[in-house]
Structure 1
Amino acid sequence: MSKMIFINLPVTDLDASTRFYKALGASRNPQFSNENAACMMLCDTIGVMILTHGYYRTFTSRTIADARATSQMLLALTVEARADVDRLVGAGVTAGGRADPNPPQDHGFMWSRSVEDPDGHVWEIFWMDPAAAAGDTTGVDA
């Protein structure tokens, strides 16, 4: 079995967050979803568990942070083409997110923008030239 990762995020409005993650291309796995949680699969091995605050609190005694006021992590998601970065950020905004809480970054061989979900969790959407990622910088401004 391949390793999987599940990112658990507290959310204030489960329906709004479900719409946002669907706009980013995730599919809802009904097997692990109910009125308190939705399992949003970005691919076969990456899931985002969006949990109501009440349900999230059953897993931790720590205070739930306000993701708009503090930064605990930056989540990064790759896309296959440079144009997909802008398309996905736009789809996230249409679904209730906020574009570019962090400045876009253009390194020539890599383009990234960020989108904030309805609760303030920041996702960096980025594309990297596969040849540059493999170390072939022929024709790439370094």
Structure 2
Amino acid sequence: MAITQIYLNLPVSDLEVSKKVYTAMGGTINPDFTGDTSAQVVFADAIVVQLMTRETFATFTKRSTSDGPIEVISALAAGSREEVDRLADAALAAGGTEPREAQDIGWLYNRAVDDPDGHSWELLAYHPAGGQG
């Protein structure tokens, strides 16, 4: 059986603020899987982020959800450098933070955005053949 989708489940401190950041980065809320303690954000048919209050998230694991070292940096590819800037700026206006300056290495352009809980996302545009992003 082949993998058909990726679901990222993230604990968040303030569900409403997190929903604003993730929709600003281009996601849409799926009301069928959204409630008072959890929200499903769809970026594409195969890319889904489930935001959960820390209390709800804790019901799915025995591990601590306390702040600790970063374990993953997720990335979303956009179609152009301009789209990366638009999405990053919108996420920042919605409550995200930018932990570092944009990177432009010719074939790859990216900006980092951390959500209010410190989950790190790279918004990127690239041309693997070496073209400009």
Query: Normalising by the residue count of structure 2, what TM-score does the alignment of the two structures yield?
Result: 0.91
**Distance between the aligned counterparts of 1:102 and 1:24, measured in 2?**
17
Deviation at 1:59, TM superposition (A): 0.3
Q: Which residue of 1 aligns with 2:110?
A: 112
Listed as ranges, the matches of 1:97-108 within 5 Å are 97-99=96-98, 101-108=99-106
TM-score normalised according to structure 1 size: 0.86
Counterpart-to-counterpart distance in 1, 2:19 and 2:81: 25
Question: 1:123 maps to what in 2?
Answer: 121
Separation in structure 1 between the aligned mates of residue 66 and residue 43 of structure 2, nearest angstrom: 24
Q: Which residue identity is paired with 2:85? A: D
1:29-108 alignment runs, 5 A limit = 29-66=30-67, 69-99=68-98, 101-108=99-106
**Whole-angstrom CA distance in 2 between matches of 1:26 and 1:65:** 26
Q: CA RMSD in A?
A: 1.8
**Does the CA contact (< 8 Å) of 1:113 and 1:126 recur in 2?**
yes
Aligned length: 131
Percent of pairs with identical residues: 37
The higher radius of gyration belongs to 1
